[in-house]
Chain A
Amino acid sequence: MIEILHFGFVQRALIAGVFVGVLLAVIGVYVVLKKMSFIGDGIAHSAFGGVALGLLIGANTTISAVIFAWVTAMLIGISKKNSRTSEDALIGIFFAFTMALGVIFIGFNKRYNADIFGFLFGDILAVSAADVVTIVCVSALVLFAVWFFYKDLTYFAFDEEGARVSGINTDFIYFLLLTLVSVTIVISIKIVGIILAVAFLIIPVSTALMLTLDFKKLIFVSAVISVISTITGFIFSYAFNLASGATIVVTATALFGGVSLFSYLKKGR
C-alpha cells in the first residue's frame, strides 16, 4: 500500500484532502452552530452556476465559481437585512435561480462536457498541482481569518445580539462568515463536489459535538474526524475504484453513525 505514495496524483490527493478536510471542519463548526446549513447549501448550488459559466466561456472555473457563490451569498445576506421575505425563502429563491442559470449555461455548451460530473461529485484523484497550490494558499488565508476573528466569530455564533451590544461589528462578522463559507465550499468542490460539500461541512462537526462540549476541542476533533474520513475515503475509493467524493462522505457518515451508536449505548447504561 505504501508504494502508492510515490505516485504524484496520490501525493496531491492526500495534501489536498488534508487541507480541505481541516478547512471544511473549521468553517463547518460555525455553520452548524450558527444554524447556517441551509445557506451553505444555497451557496454550494450557486457555485454550480459559476462552474457552468466558467466551462462555457473557457474561464478558470474556481474563480468563476467563487465569484458566483460569493455574490449570491452577499445577495442573500443583504436581502435578509432589508427584506420582509424570510431568510429561508430567500435562500430557496437564489439557490434555484443560480442552479437554473447553471443548467442553461451547460445547455449552451456545444461540446459534451463530462467534467460536470467531477464538479458535482468531486474527484480527488484528478487534483492537479495548480489545484494543490490554490487549496493550500486559500486554506491558509481562511484559517488565518478564523484565527484572527476567532473571538468575534464565536461570540457572534453564540449570541448575536449580545455580541452586537458589546461592540462587535456583527454585520461585518456575518458577511465575513458568508465569504469564508463561499470560498471554503468552492475550494472543496474538486475533492467532494458541489452536491456533497455541505454534507461535509456538517457531518464531522455533528460527530464531534457528540464527543466534546468544549469549543476549542470541538474545532480540533472536527478537523481530525474530517481528515480521517478524507484519507480513509480516498484509500477505499482508490482500492475499490469507487467515486471518491461519495466514498469520503460515506466514510464520514459511517463515523457519525458509529459515534451516535456509541454515545447512545453509553447513555443507555
Chain B
Amino acid sequence: MSEEIITFKNVSAGYGAGDVVENISFSVEKGDYVGVIGPNGGGKSTVLKMIAGVHKPRLGEVRVMGIDPEKFTQKERSLIGYVRQETFIDTSFPVKVKDVVLMGRYALIGPGRRPSDQDEQMAMDALKRTGMENFSGSHIGALSGGQKQRVFIARGIVNNPELLILDEPTTGVDAKNQHAFYELLLELKRNYHLTIIMATHDVSMVSDQVNKVTCVNHGVHMHGETEEVLKDEKTCEVCGLDTEVIFHGKRKTRVDGGPHND
C-alpha cells in the first residue's frame, strides 16, 4: 500500500454563518493526481486552504503528511507548493520574475537575512524546470497569463515540495496555452514524484490526466478513481456538472463554463 499524504476525516468547515463543506472524508496517496471539481462556491478553495493550513476545519480532522497543517514547522510547510489563479495577484507590482520565485524561499531564509547564492540558484533551477529561465530579469507584469502561471508554478516548486496544490491555475490562461500548461504539470509530476491536487473547472481537460476526482458541492461529496466518479451520471448531476461530458468524450466539452469569480 502506498503512503497517505492527505487525509480528511469527517471535516466540516465554513466562514462563520453555516458550513461551506460538510462531513467530508477522503484520502490522497503519494503520487496521486487529484482533480477537485464542483460548481462555483461549492467549497473547492476551502478544501485546498485547509490542506495548505490557512483555514481551520470547524469539525473533524485534516492531516497532511500525517501532521495537522496548522502545526507545520517551517520545514514541513515548505514541502507544500501552492498556486492560485494568476488573476488574483496584481502583477503590476514592481517585481522581477526571479524575485517572485525567490519569495518561495523567504520564510525559510527568515527575517533579517538576504537570499544566498544557493537560494538564487534554486530560483533559477525552478524557472528552468518551467521553461521560464530566459525571463528571469523580466517584470512579472510584462508576461502573458500562461507565462505568469509558469512563474508561479516555479515559485511553488522552488523548495522541491512533495505536494503541489493548485487552485484553478488556468483561469487567465488562454485556451491555446492551457494544454501546454497541463503538459508541464504532468512532466513535473513525473520527474519530481509530486503529488498534485488541483481545483479546476475544466473537467474535460484533465479527465484523462488525473487519476482521482473529488467533487464538492456543500453537503455533497464524491471521491474516487476518475472513471468511477465521472461515469456516474447522478454523481455529476449532484455535483453540479454538465452531464454531457460523461457521454461524449473527454476533450471536447467544456464543463460548467465561464470564468470563475470569487
Q: Which residues of A contact B (CB under 8 A)?
A: 33, 84, 147-149, 151-152, 154-155, 157-159, 161-168, 209, 212-215, 218
A215, B95: Cβ atoms under 8 Å? yes
Q: With the chains together, A168 CA to B77 CA distance in Å?
A: 10
A148 and B95: CB pair below 8 A? no
Interface centre among A158, A167, A214 (most CB of B within 10 A): A167
Interface flag for B261 (CB, 8 Å):
no
Give A72 to B33 CA distance when docked, in angstroms.
47
Contacts of B106 in A (CB 8 A): 151-152, 155, 163, 166, 168
Q: Contact: A162 with B84, CB < 8 Å? A: yes
- Among B54, B89, B99, B139, the residue within 8 A (CB) of A165 is B54
Report how far A251 CA is from B104 CA in the complex, Å: 40
Q: Are B107 and A166 in contact (CB under 8 A)?
A: yes
Q: Which residues of B contact A218 (CB under 8 A)?
A: 94
B93 at the interface (CB under 8 A from A): yes
A151 touches B141 (CB 8 A): no
Chain B, residues 96-124, CB within 8 Å of chain A (1/0): the string is: 10011001101111011000000000000
Measured between alpha carbons, how far is A84 from B100 in the docked complex, in Å?
32
Complex CA gap A168/B111 in Å reads 10
Shortest Cβ distance from residue A160 to the other chain B in the assembled complex, whole angstroms: 10
Which one, A84, A155, A167, A215, contacts B78 given CB within 8 A? A167
Chain B residues whose C-beta falls within 8 Å of the C-beta of A164 in the assembled complex: 54
A213 and B141 form a contact (CB under 8 A):
yes
Extra 6 A-B pairs, beta carbons < 8 Å, given A162-B82, A215-B99: A147-B112, A152-B111, A162-B155, A166-B82, A213-B95, A213-B141
Q: Verify A165–B74 contact, CB threshold 8 A.
A: no
Contacts of A213 in B (CB 8 A): 94-95, 139, 141
Which residues on B sit within 8 Å (CB–CB) of A209?
94
Interface residues of B (CB under 8 A from A): 16, 52-54, 72, 74, 77-78, 80, 82, 84, 88-89, 93-96, 99-100, 103-104, 106-109, 111-112, 139, 141, 155
CA distance A55 to B123 in the complex (A): 54
| Interface core residue of B53, B84, B109, B112 (most chain A CB under 10 Å) | B112
By beta carbon, the residue of chain A nearest B17 is: A84
Distance of A157 Cα from B94 Cα, bound (Å): 11
Q: Are B103 and A155 in contact (CB under 8 A)?
A: yes
Are B94 and A214 in contact, CB atoms less than 8 angstroms apart? yes
By beta carbon, the residue of chain B nearest A145 is B111
Closest to A159 in B: B89
Measured between C-beta atoms, what is the minimum distance from A35 to chain B in Å? 8
What's the minimum C-beta distance from A159 to chain B, rounded to whole angstroms? 5
Q: Which residues of A contact B72 (CB under 8 A)?
A: 167
A147 to B94, CA, bound (A): 18
Q: What residue of chain A has the Cβ atom nearest to residue B99's Cβ? A: A215
Nearest Cβ in chain A — how far from B21, in angstroms?
19
**How many angstroms between the C-alpha atoms of A218 and B107 in the bound complex?**
23
Supply 13 A–B pairs (Cβ within 8 Å), ascending by A: A148-B111, A151-B103, A154-B103, A158-B89, A158-B100, A161-B88, A162-B82, A162-B84, A166-B103, A168-B106, A212-B94, A213-B95, A215-B99
What residues on B are CB-neighbors of A168 within 8 Å? 106-107
Assess the B111–A167 pair: CB atoms within 8 A: no
Given A166-B78, A166-B106, do A214 and B96 touch, yes or no (CB 8 Å)?
A: yes
A168 to B53, CA, bound (A): 12
CB-based contact A166/B139 at 8 Å: no
